[in-house]
């Protein structure tokens, strides 16, 4: 049976019909709608010679036995944010299903191929993303914090998981799933504008950005807006404003797609009649190179101290979160790039800003690569999320092409 | 009986003892504590040949009849903010009491002298400042809005006023109080750092700043902090940051003590992972010259449009409030300046950033001047508010001196 990329599009529309509404996709993990999506997926692969398994973290695996125990993994996630798009996560799974069909029709593959539907990539209900993949990758270290999480209705995370057969205390037992993995492939919509700007359907992903997130607190002195001469002020907003503008130069100097974002400033007292006493500024910096990420952070800190001196302010930094860059496997990146060129005539290598399940798998030491397909206007996490049908079909073809190459590569290593 | 400036200080401390606590002054208008302060004031003037009257707006008047019906007014306010200072408002009243004592001891003055304790200058309970003085000045036009105001316990403004004998519907009948007024004098702490910087105890106030207050809304596009290249962003915070810095140049170019303040920026969505879509910025601009204030506003608007174009944003302006500059009477300013020089050896002319009851009286067409006494560290509206005792004594002496001059001036005009 030859690959039918248009079937993937038809199935994605069917899924949206089944699990979405007029506001978009509603497949939030650990809900009935999500369970319905998993059941529907089960039905889609029912005719194939694959075994299904739900692991201890709730990940749904479909295994096509090959000549070798070594496995090639293809992954995605059926869960969505509330009012989400029709592609984010489930495109990967359904393209994987189509590839499984083609492989099964071709007879026993050289190595075992497994399709995984990761549980709770989005973290939409409890605020903890990459749940299933981090459990399988062995990087989940926050069970004690997870135990205390509750959704907005007060339902605890452990309780919600238990309703879907997952015991939080044993979630990391899912780690055994990756034991024989030789490579991991993940297709995803880009969720950014780079490929659309380049007028290219597909790109090979170099890795996921390292991230440094900080809260920067500027402290000056509240003072009456009417009676305090300009040269006597210690205006905390001035420090934040200077840094909000300075980070553009920092990103430009770091190069290679570096991004710096000040997502907001909270001013106190924040009233029209007072100079700002404290300004709490959010800063997010990302780079694919750990050294240059560190340099970006150092440059921002240095600039903040210079601005604090200029404005007679105090400045302090608190790290909110950070993660190192995760580079995908160079041979697999080359393979992905070549597959895209074969199918689409041209390719582009780009970093991923958002994190993905692939980052967790790569952190676990499994050779990994992702393929991006163009997102119209870079939109995701909204019902406006879309990709041209011809690009979706190319994506399924390129993933299939890459699977053939990666399968041979894993077989050669085994 | 000669003037006893040290008695003013002792009485202010007595008042603080009676109506303050460890957090500062608690004489919020329309409360029992405020009523107690008015009762205490009544006792302080009890031995003098003055008549007391509470007008329809709750203002407390003490009249020392003179040879003429023409009146010279001296004003202040006993009400404070919660946790306020020991001087703001009541220094003026108690210095006026001391001047009344000296005048009464000197025999019948050439014109009638009236001391007024304005009701609710601070607007601390209902958010409406200058209540009593605006009623008397005839500039109160917001009775319909005042009727709807309530304090944080849900008590309506009309109800609270009625408990102190004031009928909101008749408050503006207080206007008759200013009918025969020939001049108005008000002493006040500076509430700013100018005199302290100049190492001067006292200054003559030129007038109160005109004020333009606006809310500026910058609109860009929310976008993922990780996947949106720097050159594709429409960052609303960038517009606000540029304007927050630009207003310093605007104030400097306008000169003469001009001030521009951005009291805060509210960012949406305001999360670390998103470019800012909308930034609501507060702007307060003040100048003593109406034309230059208008030019400052025009320059800020022009700059905002330039920044919006640079950053691919939309920008819109909403006026929150404005008031024209109110200039005090030039002859009275000269007289105030000369009185200060006589008493303290040196004087300085300066604008007032904050509004005061004097601005309402001046708007009503009564020749007006204010005298400022140095505020330590420019602090007010806090229990840390303070002024050196020797400066307080000089202030009482200079007000007495000015009263003598102004009294002769009013007499000469009558």
* pLDDT tens sequence across A252-277: 999 989 999 999 999 998 888 889 99
- Which pLDDT score is estimated for B128? 87
- Token pair for B395: 């202030």
Mark whether A65 and A155 lie in a shared domain: yes
Mark whether B194 and B234 lie in a shared domain: no
Rg (CA), chain B: 23
CA atoms within 13 A on the CB side of B358: 35
> Measured between alpha carbons, how far is B266 from A266 in angstroms, rounded to an integer?
7
Which phi and psi (to 5°) does residue A319 adopt?
A: -75, 130
CATH value at residue A257? 3.30.70.360
The proportion of chain B whose per-residue pLDDT surpasses 90, expressed as a percent, equals 88
- Find the helix or strand (DSSP H, E) in which A189 lies: strand A181-189
Mark whether A282 and A343 lie in a shared domain: no
Give the residue from chain A lying closest to B226, CA to CA: A353
Give the residue from chain B lying closest to A276, CA to CA: B263
DSSP structure class, residue B25: E
> Measured between alpha carbons, how far is B146 from B135 in angstroms, rounded to an integer?
12
Q: What phi-psi label fits residue B381: left (phi over 0), alpha (psi between -120 and 50 degrees) or beta?
A: left
Mark whether A167 and A44 lie in a shared domain: yes
Chain A residues with CB under 8 Å of B382 CB are none
Mark whether B36 and B124 lie in a shared domain: yes
Mark whether A117 and A235 lie in a shared domain: no
Go through B297-320 and write b for each residue having 16 or more CB atoms within 10 A of its CB, e for each that does not. Answer: bebbbebbeebbeebebebeeeee
By Cβ distance, the residue of A232, A262, A273 closest to B193 is A232
* Beta-strand pair A278-287/A259-268: antiparallel
- Which pLDDT score is estimated for A414? 59
Q: Residue B135: helix, strand or coil by DSSP?
A: helix
- Which pLDDT score is estimated for B233? 94
Mark whether A215 and A198 lie in a shared domain: no
- N-to-C CA span, chain A: 28
Task: Report CB contact under 8 Å: A226, B354.
Answer: yes
Whole-Å CA distances, B40 to A171, B1, B7, B53: 73, 22, 15, 15
> Measured between alpha carbons, how far is A85 from A378 in angstroms, rounded to an integer?
12
Give the residue from chain B lying closest to A232, CA to CA: B193
Whole-Å CA distances, B177 to B49, B57, B104: 19, 10, 21
For the cut 90, the answer to whether the pLDDT of residue A382 exceeds it is no
Chain A residues with CB under 8 Å of B353 CB are 224-228
Q: What phi-psi label fits residue B14: left (phi over 0), alpha (psi between -120 and 50 degrees) or beta?
A: alpha
Whole-Å CA distances, A121 to A59, A79, A126, A343, A354: 10, 7, 11, 29, 12
Task: Report CB contact under 8 Å: B265, A263.
Answer: no
Domain end among B276, B292, B323: B323
Chain B residues with CB under 8 Å of A252 CB are 230
Task: Report CB contact under 8 Å: B259, A378.
Answer: no
Look up the ipTM and state it: 0.80
Chain A residues with CB under 8 Å of B237 CB are 244, 262, 264-265
CA atoms within 13 A on the CB side of A46: 7
Which phi and psi (to 5°) does residue A82 adopt?
A: -65, 145
Give the residue from chain A lying closest to B213, CA to CA: A272
Chain A residues with CB under 8 Å of B258 CB are 230
Q: Kindly state the average pLDDT of the residues B82-91.
A: 95
Nearest in space to B173 (alpha carbons), one of B204, B136, B141, B142: B136
Mark whether B29 and B94 lie in a shared domain: yes
Q: Kindly state the average pLDDT of the residues B48-62.
A: 98
Domain range for A268 is: 210-323
Encode pLDDT of A96-106 as tens digits.
999 999 999 99
Mark whether A334 and A288 lie in a shared domain: no
By Cβ distance, the residue of A192, A227, A354 closest to B190 is A227
Pick the residue with more confidence: B342 or B228?
A: B342
pTM: 0.81
**A356, A349 contact by CB (below 8 A):** no
Residue with tokens 């499984």, as numbered in its chain: A100
Structure confidence at residue B414 as a pLDDT band (50, 70, 90): low
By Cβ distance, the residue of A227, A252, A378 closest to B228 is A378
Domain end among B323, B346, B369: B323
- Token pair for A86: 């029709």
Task: Report CB contact under 8 Å: B226, A352.
Answer: yes
Whole-Å CA distances, A160 to A155, A168, A174, A225, B29: 7, 10, 18, 51, 54
Give the residue from chain B lying closest to A227, CA to CA: B353
Encode pLDDT of A167-179 as tens digits.
999 999 999 999 9
Mark whether B92 and B25 lie in a shared domain: yes
Mark whether A179 and A306 lie in a shared domain: no
Structure confidence at residue A204 as a pLDDT band (50, 70, 90): very high
DSSP structure class, residue A150: B
CATH value at residue A67? 3.40.630.10
For the cut 90, the answer to whether the pLDDT of residue B158 exceeds it is yes
By Cβ distance, the residue of A223, A257, A270 closest to B378 is A223
For the cut 70, the answer to whether the pLDDT of residue A23 exceeds it is yes
Q: Residue B52: helix, strand or coil by DSSP?
A: strand
Which phi and psi (to 5°) does residue B167 adopt?
A: -100, 115
By Cβ distance, the residue of B213, B223, B267 closest to A265 is B267
Whole-number average pLDDT of chain B: 95
Q: Which residues pair with A84 in a beta bridge?
A: A25
Chain A residues with CB under 8 Å of B227 CB are 190-194, 352-354, 378
Mark whether A272 and A379 lie in a shared domain: no
For the cut 90, the answer to whether the pLDDT of residue A41 exceeds it is yes
Encode pLDDT of A209-220 as tens digits.
999 999 999 999
Which residue, among B127, B265, B311, B359, would best test binding to A if mutated, counting the most A CBs under 10 Å from its CB? B265
For the cut 70, the answer to whether the pLDDT of residue B261 exceeds it is yes
Find the DSSP H helices in B138-193.
Answer: 143-146, 157-162
Q: What share of chain B is helix, strand, coil (3-state, %, to 5)?
A: 40, 25, 35
For the cut 90, the answer to whether the pLDDT of residue A63 exceeds it is yes
Domain end among B292, B323, B354: B323
- Token pair for A172: 């990391």
Encode pLDDT of A124-161 as tens digits.
899 888 999 999 999 998 899 999 999 989 999 999 99
Task: Report CB contact under 8 Å: A230, B264.
Answer: no
| Burial environment of residue A42 by CB neighbours within 10 A (0 to 12, 13 to 18, 19 or more) | middle
Calculate helix-pair angle for B90-105, B389-413, nearest 10 degrees.
60
Task: Report CB contact under 8 Å: B232, A380.
Answer: no
> Measured between alpha carbons, how far is B389 from B9 in angstroms, rounded to an integer?
7
Which phi and psi (to 5°) does residue A180 adopt?
A: -105, 15
DSSP structure class, residue B67: S
Structure confidence at residue A354 as a pLDDT band (50, 70, 90): confident
Give the residue from chain B lying closest to A352, CA to CA: B227
Encode pLDDT of B103-150 as tens digits.
999 999 999 999 999 999 999 899 888 999 999 999 998 899 999 999
For the cut 70, the answer to whether the pLDDT of residue B260 exceeds it is yes
Task: Report CB contact under 8 Å: B252, A264.
Answer: no
Residue with tokens 């024989």, as numbered in its chain: A180
How many domains are there within chain A? 2
Task: Report CB contact under 8 Å: A286, B211.
Answer: no
For the cut 70, the answer to whether the pLDDT of residue B16 exceeds it is yes
């Amino acid at each position: 049976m030859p690959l039918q990329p248009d079937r993937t599009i038809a199935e994605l529309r069917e899924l949206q019909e089944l699990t979405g509404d007029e506001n978009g996709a509603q497949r939030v993990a650990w809900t009935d709608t999500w369970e319905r999506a998993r059941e529907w997926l089960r039905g889609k692969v029912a005719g194939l010679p694959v075994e299904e398994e739900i692991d201890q973290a709730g990940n749904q695996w479909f295994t096509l036995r090959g000549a070798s125990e070594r496995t090639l993994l293809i992954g995605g996630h059926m869960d969505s944010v509330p009012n989400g798009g029709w592609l984010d996560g489930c495109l990967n799974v359904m393209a994987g299903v189509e590839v499984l069909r083609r492989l099964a029709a071709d007879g026993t593959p050289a190595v075992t191929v497994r399709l995984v539907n990761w549980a709770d990539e989005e973290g939409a209900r409890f605020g903890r993303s990459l749940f299933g993949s981090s459990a399988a990758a062995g990087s989940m270290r926050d069970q004690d914090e997870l135990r205390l999480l509750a959704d907005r209705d007060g339902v605890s995370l452990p309780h919600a998981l238990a309703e879907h057969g997952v015991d939080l205390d044993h979630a990391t037992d899912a780690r055994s799933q990756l034991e024989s993995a030789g490579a991991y492939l993940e297709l995803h919509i880009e969720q950014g504008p780079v490929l659309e700007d380049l007028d290219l359907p597909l790109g090979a992903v170099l890795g996921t950005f390292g991230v440094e997130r900080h809260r920067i607190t500027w402290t000056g002195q509240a003072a009456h807006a009417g009676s305090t001469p300009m040269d006597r002020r210690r205006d905390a907003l001035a420090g934040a404003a200077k840094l909000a503008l300075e980070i553009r130069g920092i990103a430009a100097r770091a190069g290679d797609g570096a991004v710096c974002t000040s997502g907001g400033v909270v001013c106190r007292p924040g009233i029209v009649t007072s100079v700002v006493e404290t300004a709490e500024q959010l800063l997010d910096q990302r780079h694919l190179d750990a050294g240059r990420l560190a340099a970006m952070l150092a440059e921002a800190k240095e600039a903040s101290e210079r601005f604090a001196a200029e404005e007679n302010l105090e400045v302090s930094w608190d790290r909110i979160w950070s993660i190192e860059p995760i580079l995908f496997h160079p041979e697999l990146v080359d393979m992905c790039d070549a597959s895209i060129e074969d199918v689409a005539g041209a390719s582009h290598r780009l970093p991923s800003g958002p994190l993905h399940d692939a980052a967790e798998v790569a952190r676990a030491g499994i050779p990994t690569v992702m393929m991006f397909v163009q997102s119209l206007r870079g939109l995701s996490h909204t019902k406006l999320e879309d990709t041209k049908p011809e690009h979706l079909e190319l994506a399924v073809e390129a993933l299939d092409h890459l699977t053939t190459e990666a399968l041979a590569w894993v077989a050669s290593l085994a």
